[in-house]
Amino acid sequence: MSEVDWESLREKAIEASRRAYCPYSDFPVGVAGVTTDGRVFTGCNVENASYGVGLCAECGLVSALHLGGGGLFAAVYCVGGDGQALMPCGRCRQLLWENGGPACLLMTPEGVLPMSQILPQAFGPDDLATRSGH
């Protein structure tokens, strides 16, 4: 994976946020990610009248990744309705961990950080393999 084009990812995340379905929170979120082999996917949040089942933008992003052939994200940019970097919620950090791993880069309000710093000591697939106790 060559140098990440953060500005292009941000533009795609903003574009995705314009498709958000968020009549309940009025808080649009868009996210864009590029895979280690250069494919770009996006997602937006999709809310529901049954509030608790609303989908974060990252859910759509991860679904798009798998529909598009799978793989791992190398870099992800999530934005709020203000177009600025937005930190993924705790649940979505777990989603990004599974689909990007510790080296995946995330744009944050404090600059670019690896997922290993966004979700330290993360639970992941390795734990399932090594920590079941049998």
Any idea what DSSP says for residue 89?
P
- Name the residue nearer to ligand THU (CB basis): 34 or 96: 96
- Between helix 57-67 and helix 90-100 the angle, nearest 10°, is 20
Return the residue of 17, 35, 42, 45 that touches ligand THU, per CB under 6 A: 45
| Residue 35 vs 45, nearer CB to ligand THU | 45
Of 1-9, 10-18, 88-96, 110-118, which part binds ligand THU (CB under 6 A)? Answer: 88-96
- Catalytic (active-site) positions: 58
**Distance between CA atoms of 63 and 18, rounded to whole angstroms?**
18
The pattern of x and - marking residues 47 through 86 that bind ligand THU according to CB under 6 A reads x------x-xxx----------------------------
3 state SS of 93: helix
Tell me whether residue 8 or residue 48 sits nearer to ligand THU (CB atom): 48
Of 77, 107, 93, whose CA–CA distance to 17 is shortest? 77
CB neighbour list of residue 102: distance below 8 Å, 6 or more residues apart? 114, 115, 116, 122
| Residues of this chain that bind ligand THU (CB under 6 A) | 22, 25, 27, 29, 45, 47, 54, 56-58, 88-89, 92
